[in-house]
Structure formats: C-alpha cells, structure tokens
C-alpha cells in the first residue's frame, strides 16, 4: 500500500488491519489487539473479568497458546509485575484471523493496595516463534485499583470511613450526617423498560438542548441540558421505565426514565421534568435515582417547585415514586459517595418543597450542616489525593463540582461555611487540573495512546467551562492533538458476455484513488483532493451487421478530475462515573474518524468503427469510483470509522481494510480499500 502523508487534527473543532510488507520468514505473529476489564476496582482476593482479542498478523498459522494476565505499575510488561491467577486457552489461529474470549481472574490476596494497569499477554508461555514479539501485550484502558476495602489514594488506600452519629429524620431513618462517607447498605432493584418508547438524539455542549419521550400511559419526560453541560457532542437515549421491582416506596411509581450513556458526567445539572396523568398527593411525591442494572437505588432531591423536576449531575435512571413512609428507603445507604449526599439531603429538600415546617425545624433538617461535612469527609480528601495523582483527577473534580452544584440548588450560595469551602475547592481543583494536564500532555507525546489525548482535551474543556485558568493548555492541546490519515481505495470490474443475437460485451476497468496531505486545524474542517494512483477503463461492444463487418463500439477512460476528501476526528470527552466494585463498567467511549467524499470524476471517450457508421467520437464524465464505493458500503455517508482505543498499536490508532467481491453472473466487481489513522504529536 502506498503511504499517504498527513492529517493534523485539532480537537477543539469538535469536533481488519493491513499489515506492512510481509516478512521474509513465514512466521506467525500473535498481537494482542484488544483488552477490557471490569470491575476496575477490587479488594485483594477479589475477581475481575477480562475480555480480549488476539490476532495473527503473521504469514503462518499459530499453534494453540495461552494468555497470561498481570498487574503493572507502568503499563509495560516487566519482571516486577504481579501475575493474576488464571490463564485463557487460545486455539490455533490462522493467518489474518482473530481469537476472542473472556476469563474471570483472581487478584492474589497478597497484592498490595494501590493503582495498577491490567495487562494481557498473548503466548505467555512462549510456545510460538513469532516474527514480532513486541506486540504480544496490551494494557486495558484506565487505572485498575486494588483498594484493600478502602478508597484508593496515591500511595495506597485511605482508611475505610465509618459513619458518625447523626440526627434522625422522621421515622427514625438516618438524618444529615456530621461526617462522610457513610457505611453503605446499598439496595438493588429490577427494572422493566418500555424499549419501544425509546428515543435517541445528538446533544451538544455549545448550547441548550432538549428532548422528550412519552410512555404508553401518557407520562412525558423532558430532558434539558444547559449550555456547557457536555464537553463534546453526545448521542443521548431516553427510555421510559414500565416498572421497578423492589422499589421501597410503598405507594408505587409515578414515572421513571433511563438516561444513557450510563454514568455520563455533566458539568452543569440537567433538568428532567415529569408530567404524569396521575402524580399522586404532593406530600407523597419522592424522587429517586439508581444506576445501570438497578444498582444503588437511593432517594434524590425534588426541585422546590410544583411540577416534578429533578436535576441530576450524571446519567442514570431517574424518577418519582409515592410514599407515605420513607424510613425503609432512607435506611438503605447507597455505596457511591455522591449518591450518599443526594440521599441524605433528599428529605430536607422534600420539606423545603412542601413548605410545611417552620424555620427552627428547617434549620435542624436543612442542608447547612450536611454540605460542609461532606466536603470535609469526601471532597477535600479526594482533591488532596488528586493533586499528586493524575489518575484520580476527573473523578475528584466531578465529586467536587457535584457537591458545589447541589449546595447551590439547596440555596447555600451565601452560607459562610459553604463559601469558605467553595473557595478552597477552586484552589484545589486548579492544582489538580495543572498536575493532570502536565501528565496527560507528557503521556500524549511520549506514549501516543489516544486515552492521553482524550484526557488532556477533556481536562482542558472542564477548565474552560468552569472558569479555571490553566495557562498554556491551548498550546499543549495543539501539540498533542495531531493526527495523520492514510486512505487508499482500488476498485476493479471485469465483464464479458454474448447475447443470443450475437452481440458481445467486454470490460476491463480499474479505479484507484488516494488522498494526500489531508489537514484539519483547530477551527476548520480540512479538505484535500483525492488523487488518482491508477485509472484504466477499456470497454468494447460488438454488434453484428449482416454481411457488413461488425460494428465495434469502443469506450476508453482518458482523463480524471480529482474530488475532495474531508476528515473530522470526533472524540468523546465526557467523563463517566466510576462504578463501585461489583457493578458493571460504563460502556466504552464513542470515538470515530468521519470521512466525507465529494465525487472524483472520470472522463470516458466513446467512438464507433465498422458497419456503415462513421467515426463519432464523444466524451462524458462519470463518477464510477464514487458509485462503486457507495455500492460496497451501502450508501453510508458521511462514512464513519469507529476507533477502538484498546486496539491501538504504538502510534497507530486504527487500521481498517475493506475487501469485497461481487459476482455479477458474467463478471466480477472487487474492492480493496485501506485506512490507517496515526497519532503524530509535536514534542
């Protein structure tokens, strides 16, 4: 394949592999092209499920092997790495084929607490002589934490917190705590979705977005995301919930809706309104939220207005139920610390909404004591740890912003204790961001992994939308977010047939294009011509002419006119909640390279010879390469190539090849197209 140079992509615009020349020796080459794991936080002796894909990129079949799994401090396989208990058997892999599988592994009980990278290695017992032994191992995306039962910190773990004594709410349930985190006793429910009522819409960070769905009973759910709630464009799905089994609210369900992607973190609270035919008594209305799979059901504050309004800072399943007794629900403390805060302040938010208690009682039940205690027990320790551990940055910042937004929604903007801690929060977040940006920039330039580029861009956007000054972050972005794309496509067509009346038709054609120096800067969508590497078209129709010589009708390709290829790299910058141990991991981000083609054209000359027809030359223009590409790709335009971060090899982010062949009955059409996406940062 001929190399195509240059795509430089700046992210703020918002914006099958083909092997190199075959090695001389006929050897196999087992490459670990994908690995994912979950949960990403376990205690020593716990288990983790790892899924992976091995591909044979060599020129010979690879015999049966075994995969090994390790915990590493630096994402590189080394002698000091800790081996996880268990291996996965891999059957023999033919040339160009993949072997996928999954295995549950055990973290040894002696494993020290701390932050690791989980590595999978093909042919761990070295049974196969390979042409390249350097691509056998790959680290799963993200930090794998061994917590020891506590909360992971930069040097190990912080002690597991124990709930302090706290006042009681009506019914004897726990009230506003004087210290956090609380000892969890999480509740899991089971939901039934009305999938046929689901709706998906692309929502953007640059302006306010709204979308709605309506359940079968007429309940309408409207989701509004304010400007800058999102860091990048996101496909959002809303699905009404038909039923919630195990719901502790004793008078039933008013309505609930699942918001996806699960765990999506917002920079500003969403506004979810519910309009139901039967909303129940005002004093019984109770907000709630739970996560993917029904995990961590807890009470959630309703906004102080008559209509049913909730303002979540992250995507989950959000709804309203009816309860005359909330003690059972209040007694079940969720596992997530953010959920604990929402859970504890929900009752005081309810009292505020009802406006049914006096000032003295309101002070006792209100949030004034809760938010400082939560900052001291949760937010400050997480920010402190993240000041020197960049892996904790986005989680700590999300925790802090969630705290601040909920405090403001509770009416504490002018509270002196809140104001003092908010000032401290901004100072600490600035330190966290500067440290994390520097690490992400260094990782982006030195290690090439797309994850570093995404993290850097995400941190920069978090700083921008929340007003943090990070100095030269724009320059770092431009140096990090530079990419190169190689695109080449060769189409062929052959045909030949004879009709009953003696007419014959023969065709031999090649359309071969490529794109050079495709560049995108940080504000515009770049475009460059599709040049012609090869173009050949020879067609001949022969018609009988009785006693005269036959008529030969010739068609020949004589010239080309380039079209344009445009490219846009779209990366998902929106962080996701980190689930507690034992809960499902969030889905992978949706990153893609989008290609847009304007049609290159070919000029064809036609003339006749023989019979009694004179020489009649004529020219016409057609777009046969574009038509063939569109045919083989089912009209999927703009054409998107999904980027699998876990399949990255060095600075090669994604490599695709499309081969297709179609038998027309009298001939054949073929496609051989390739695309490589490279990361080319500037040091």
pLDDT digits (tens, 9 = 90+) for 32-51: 888 888 777 788 877 888 88
pLDDT of residue 103: 83
pLDDT band at 6 (very low <50, low <70, confident <90, very high): very low
Residue 666's Cα: distance from chain center in Å?
Answer: 45
| Residue 555 near residue 622 (C-beta atoms within 8 A) | no
pLDDT band at 501 (very low <50, low <70, confident <90, very high): confident
Q: Would you call 338 helix, strand, or coil by DSSP?
A: helix
Half-sphere exposure of 188 (CA within 13 A, CB side): 6
pLDDT of residue 25: 58
Digit-coded pLDDT (tens) for 620-645: 999 999 999 999 998 777 788 998 88
d(CA 606, CA 590): 48
pLDDT of residue 521: 53
Which phi and psi angles does 426 have, rounded to 5°?
-65, -40
The closest of 245, 259, 238 to 191, measured between CA atoms, is 245
pLDDT of residue 309: 96
Digit-coded pLDDT (tens) for 232-289: 999 999 999 999 999 999 999 999 999 999 999 999 999 999 999 999 999 999 999 9
Q: What is the DSSP string of 278-301?
A: ----GGGEEEEEEEGGGEEEEE-P
Strand runs (DSSP E) across 39-147, as ranges? 41-42, 47-56, 65-72, 82-83, 88-90, 98-106, 114-121, 137-139, 144-146
d(CA 679, CA 583): 33
d(CA 75, CA 477): 23
Residue 298's Cα: distance from chain center in Å?
Answer: 27
Q: Would you call 441 helix, strand, or coil by DSSP?
A: helix
d(CA 147, CA 152): 5
The closest of 18, 14, 15, 24 to 4, measured between CA atoms, is 18
Q: Would you call 666 helix, strand, or coil by DSSP?
A: coil
d(CA 623, CA 601): 5
Q: Quote the percentage of the chain above a pLDDT of 70.
A: 88
Domains contained in the chain, CATH given = 27-153 (2.60.40.10), 190-371 (2.60.220.30), 483-679 (no CATH)
Digit-coded pLDDT (tens) for 88-110: 889 999 888 888 888 888 888 78
Which phi and psi angles does 485 have, rounded to 5°?
-120, 135
pLDDT of residue 148: 57
Q: How deeply is 401 buried, as exposed, middle or buried, from its count of CB atoms within 10 A (0-12, 13-18, 19+)?
A: buried
Report the pLDDT averaged over residues 60-84.
Answer: 88
């Amino acid at each position: 394949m001929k190399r195509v140079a240059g795509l430089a992509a700046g992210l703020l615009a918002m914006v099958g592999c083909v092997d190199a020349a075959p090695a001389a020796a006929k050897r196999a080459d087992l490459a670990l092209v994908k690995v994912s794991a979950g949960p990403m936080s376990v205690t020593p002796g716990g288990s983790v499920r790892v899924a992976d894909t091995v591909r044979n990129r060599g020129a010979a079949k690879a015999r049966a092997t075994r995969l090994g799994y390790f915990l590493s401090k630096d994402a590189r396989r080394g002698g000091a790495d800790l081996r996880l208990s268990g291996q996965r058997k891999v059957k023999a892999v033919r040339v160009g084929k993949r072997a996928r599988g999954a295995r549950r592994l055990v973290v040894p009980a002696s494993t020290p607490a701390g932050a690791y990278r989980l590595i999978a290695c093909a042919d761990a017992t070295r049974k196969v002589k390979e042409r390249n032994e350097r691509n056998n191992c790959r680290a799963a995306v993200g930090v794998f934490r061994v917590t020891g039962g506590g909360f992971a910190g930069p040097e190990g773990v912080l002690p597991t917190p124990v709930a302090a004594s706290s006042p009681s709410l009506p019914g004897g349930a726990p009230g506003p705590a004087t210290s956090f985190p609380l000892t969890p006793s999480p509740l899991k429910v089971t939901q039934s979705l009305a999938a046929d009522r689901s709706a998906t819409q692309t929502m953007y960070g640059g302006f306010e977005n709204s979308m709605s769905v309506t359940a079968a009973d007429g309940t309408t759910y409207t989701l509004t995301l304010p400007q800058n709630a999102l860091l990048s464009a996101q496909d959002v799905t809303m699905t009404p919930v038909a039923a919630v089994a195990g719901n502790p609210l004793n008078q039933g369900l008013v309505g609930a809706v699942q918001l996806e992607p699960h765990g999506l973190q917002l920079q500003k609270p969403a506004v979810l309104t519910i309009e139901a035919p039967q909303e129940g008594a005002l004093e019984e209305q109770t907000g709630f939220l739970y996560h993917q799979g029904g995990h961590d059901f807890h009470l959630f504050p309703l906004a102080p207005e008559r209509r049913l309004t909730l303002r979540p800072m992250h995507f989950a399943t959000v709804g309203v139920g009816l309860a005359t007794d909330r003690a059972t629900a209040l007694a079940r403390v969720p596992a997530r610390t953010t959920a604990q805060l929402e859970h504890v302040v929900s009752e005081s938010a309810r009292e505020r909404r009802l406006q049914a208690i006096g000032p003295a009682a309101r002070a006792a039940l209100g949030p004034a004591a809760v938010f400082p205690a939560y900052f001291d027990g949760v937010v400050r320790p997480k920010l402190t740890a993240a000041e020197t551990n960049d892996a904790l940055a986005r989680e700590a910042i999300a925790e802090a912003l969630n705290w601040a937004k909920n405090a403001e929604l509770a009416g504490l903007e002018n509270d002196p204790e809140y104001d003092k801690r908010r000032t401290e929060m901004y100072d600490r977040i600035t330190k966290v961001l500067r440290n994390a940006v520097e690490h992400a920039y260094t990782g982006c330039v030195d290690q090439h992994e797309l994850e570093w580029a995404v993290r850097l861009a995400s941190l920069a956007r978090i700083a921008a939308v929340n007003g943090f000054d990070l100095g030269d972050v724009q320059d770092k972005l431009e140096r990090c977010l530079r990419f190169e794309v190689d695109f080449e496509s060769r189409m062929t067509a052959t045909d030949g047939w004879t009709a009953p009346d003696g007419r014959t038709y023969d065709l031999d054609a090649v359309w071969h294009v490529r794109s050079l120096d495709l560049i995108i800067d940080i504000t515009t969508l770049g475009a460059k011509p599709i040049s012609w590497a090869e173009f050949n078209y020879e067609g001949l129709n022969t018609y009988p002419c009785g006693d005269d010589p036959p008529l030969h009708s010739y068609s020949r390709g004589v010239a080309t006119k380039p079209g344009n290829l445009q490219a846009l790299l779209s990366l998902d910058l929106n962080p996701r909640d980190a689930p507690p141990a034992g809960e499902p991991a969030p889905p992978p981000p949706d990153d893609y390279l989008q290609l847009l083609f304007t049609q290159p054209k070919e000029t064809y000359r036609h003339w006749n010879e023989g019979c009694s027809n004179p020489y009649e030359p004529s020219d016409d223009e057609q777009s046969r390469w574009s038509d063939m590409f569109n045919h083989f790709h089912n009209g999927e335009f703009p054409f998107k190539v999904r980027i699998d971060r876990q399949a990255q090899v060095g600075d090669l982010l994604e490599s695709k090849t499309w081969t297709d062949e179609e038998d027309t009955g009298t001939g054949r059409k073929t496609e051989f197209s390739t695309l490589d996406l490279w990361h080319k940062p500037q040091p």
